[in-house]
Structure 1
Amino acid sequence: MQSLYPLRFEPILKSMLWGGQRLPALLRQSWPGRQSIGEAWLISDLPGNATVVSNGHWKGATLRELLQREADRILGQQQQQWRKAGQFPLLLKFIDAQRELSVQVHPDDEQAARMGAGPCGKTEAWVVLDRHPQRSRIYAGLHAGVTEASFRHALQEGRVAETLHDFVPQVGDCLFLPAGTVHALGAELLVFEIQQASDVTYRLYDWDRVDPVTGQPRPLQVEQALACIDWSRGPCQPVQPAVAMQGSLRREGLIHCRYFTLERLTLFGPAAVGNPGSCHILVALKGTTLLEWEGQTESLTAGDVLLIPAALGIVHLTPLSEPVTVLVCGLGEETTG
């Protein structure tokens, strides 16, 4: 049996009209031309967009091919729901929004199934990596008292922005966006996104802009979007993390939901990361650290993303520069009923 190891993947770069030029540099990737890059898909198992292993024995294999052969050792014996699904349950991205994204909403699992939108809905979370202190805003949730009728009226009059809760984000802010939440990233924002493995987006409003390629406005999916909005959900505020110091390690619990977990670690010295038999993904945000497992080592620096198979479980990180900041992404817990 071939041993597993921390897996690197080739990111998939996506050109978007609202994108910028920061992602190739962050990922140390070359990108020909001056097309705007909006997203880098870091870990993906979506059809037609499966990321490819870039290191070690499994180099050249897609994440889908790897799961077909090693699902138990990658996902873990306890992750029955994800193994039965036959697809890696998360999609991880970096997003460079030089201009505002559309005002949009995503379906939940039941809505996605009913609307023929794929095998799952799209609950997601953002972590702000960089922003413009004056021009960047995040739009998340509706103002209290906004109803479907008043929202439709605002749509007709081009006043959608007035219905949205918005705030000036700070670097480090984490925002949890359950399916059904109306939201939009504002301009000049660089974020990390973790989400369910879905690419379904229903646009409500696109700031009256025109796609320079087609010369036409981008299509909207207003009725589908309205059918997915959770009208009971009001303004969304940044997460207040649960903070704990463990020696030279600062842990911030950010998200713990049925689909994924997200934690931010700040290391001032060596630390063990992960749990026995659990799959997790390390996203390096700041500094350089030495990752150790089973007597082997590999460096991890800002922009690096590594999938740690459940067969490894725990790895050890030793900062080579201090402090080191790493996000730890995990799979959601088993659900019943």
Structure 2
Amino acid sequence: MGLSPLYPLRFEPIFTTNLWGGRRLPAYLNRTVDHDDPIGEAWVLSDVDGSPSRVADGPLAGRTLRELMAADPARIVGAAKTPQGRFPLLLKFLDARQELSVQVHPNDEQAAKLGPGKFGKTEAWVVLDADPATSRLYAGFAEGVSAADFCTALAEKAAPKTLHAFTPKPGDCVFLEAGTVHAIGADLLLFEVQQTSDITYRLYDWDRVDAKTKQPRPLHIDEGLACADFQRGPCPPVGPAVAVGDGVRREGLVTCAYFALERFTAQVPFRVGAANRCRAVVCVKGSGELESRGARYAFRTGDVFLLPAEVGACIALPAEPVTLLECGLPE
């Protein structure tokens, strides 16, 4: 990076093919892909080994988030913690045409046993689109379900029946601490913020067969049961802390040890980010510009900007009603 000033950074999405995926993400993110395979995820901010995000435009175009962090992490994250030098969050969009597996993620202590550079996965979802007739989310165990009940259900291929399930609607936010057994149902478009981790233990996969391999996908029963928190009951959508003023609706969605998540809805200019703090701004509706140090950066639905600590606060200038999510790092 040298001494060149930083600016709001937009990264190229990393699309992943998944048997449960759909085809909505390229258009949602204003991109094209050269294949017809189902796309389940788009990683829009990643410092995961082997999948680093790459700056899309500006003087730093082509540089990876890993390179920027290695050069001078304080310019990117300020005083925020960076476990083993990694950018601590992974941001992604998900397009679930079919159900994802019933799964669970380890916590930091459990993940560390797998080797250096391994982290747990606490996450949050924001529902962007859902089919009221077919979409379901499964988050935490239903009231009264024990470990023995779940193991019996696994053996009987009835694991989803033991989970708290509900019909989601656009705007719902669900917070899932590591150890929460969960599943994403069909016909859902989600935004997800999580720890920088790609460890998933699959417990049940709806008895389906991978069309490419002609085999069921592997399960990780022993590892998953060891990580599952059987005290974790129903996880319904969070009740946001809402404040309305000066034409801006602000919703505090999640604050935890790993990230904070807020939502802004407005048609008037408003501030995003904070001085000397690292933030990621995600446009999930509308279009406009970010203003920083006299320069403007256009955004539209699907765009994600990292605001390095060196950049600090920016002004969002909506061209129409916009909804922005803001992800922050704890210090």
The alpha carbon displacement at 1:118 in A equals: 4.7
Match of 1:53 in 2: 55
What's the counterpart of residue 176 of structure 1? 175
Q: Residue in 1 aligned with 2:327? A: 329
After superposition, residues 108-187 of structure 1 pair within 5 angstroms as 108-116=107-115, 118-187=117-186
Rounded to whole Å, the distance in 1 between the matches of 2:115 and 2:88 is 18
Cα separation, partners in 2 of 1:273 and 1:229, compared to 1, 3 Å: same
1:154 is paired with a residue of what secondary structure? helix
C-alpha RMSD over aligned residues: 1.1
Shift of 1:116: 4.0
Give the distance between the partners of 1:161 and 1:45, measured in 2 at CA: 32
Within the alignment, does 1:6 sit opposite 2:8 as a pair?
yes
After superposition, give the CA deviation of every residue in 1:70-128 in whole Å (9 maximum; x if it has no partner): 3111101x22x21x621110000000000000000000001111244852100000000
CA distance in 1, matches of 2:117, 2:202: 17
SS of 1:233's equivalent in the other structure is: coil
For residues 267-311 of structure 1, what are the alpha-carbon distances to aligned partners after superposition, in whole Å with 9 as ceiling and x for unaligned?
121111121100001100111122101011111111111000111
Is contact 1:243-1:250 (8 Å) kept?
Answer: yes
* Residue number in structure 2 paired with 1:200: 199
AA in 2 matched with 1:232: Q
Distance in 1 (alpha carbons) for counterparts of 2:227 and 2:278: 31
Q: Distance in 1 between matches of 2:116 and 2:69?
A: 23
Matched residue, 1:235: 234
Whether 1:72 aligns to 2:74 is yes
Aligned-partner Cα distance in 1 for 2:223–2:244: 45
Structure 1 unaligned spans of 5+: none
Matched residue type, 1:2 = S
Q: Separation in 1 of the partners of 2:39 and 2:104?
A: 22
Corresponding residue of 1:263 = 262
What is the match of residue 294 of structure 1? Answer: 293
Q: Deviations over 1:153-201 (max 9, x none)?
A: 1111111121111000000000000000000000000000000000000
User: What is the aligned partner in structure 1 of residue 90 from structure 2?
Assistant: 91
Q: Quick one: distance in 2 between partners of 1:199 and 1:193? A: 13
User: SS of 2:9's equivalent?
Assistant: coil
Q: Counterpart amino acid of 1:41?
A: W
Residues 44-87 of structure 1: per-residue CA shift (max 9 Å, x gap): 011110010011111111100011113111101x22x21x6211
Conserved 8 A contact 1:292-1:316? yes
What CA distance in whole angstroms lies between the structure 1 residues aligned with 2:245 and 2:70? 38
TM-score norm. by structure 1 comes to: 0.96
> Matches of 1:290 and 1:215 in 2, distance apart?
47
Q: Which residue of 2 aligns with 1:245?
A: 244
- Residue of structure 2 equivalent to 1:307: 306
Contact 1:160 1:205 in 2 (8 A): yes
Partner of 1:284: 283
Residue 195 of structure 2 aligns to which amino acid in structure 1?
Q
SS at match of 1:152: helix
| 1:30-41 matched pairs, under 5 angstroms | 30-41=32-43
- Which one-letter code corresponds to 1:308 in the other structure? L
2:72 match: secondary structure: helix
The CA deviation at 1:228 is 0.5
Q: Is the CA contact (8 Å cut-off) linking 2:248 and 2:270 kept in structure 1?
A: yes
1:245 Cα shift? 1.2
Distance of 2:116 and 2:75 partners within structure 1: 30
**Secondary structure class of the residue paired with 1:8:** strand
The equivalent of 1:210 in structure 2 is 209
Partner letter of residue 144 of structure 1? E
Give the percent of matched residue pairs that are identical in Structure 1 and Structure 2: 55
The number of residues matched between the two structures is 329
Cα distance in 1 between the residues matched to 2:158 and 2:319: 51
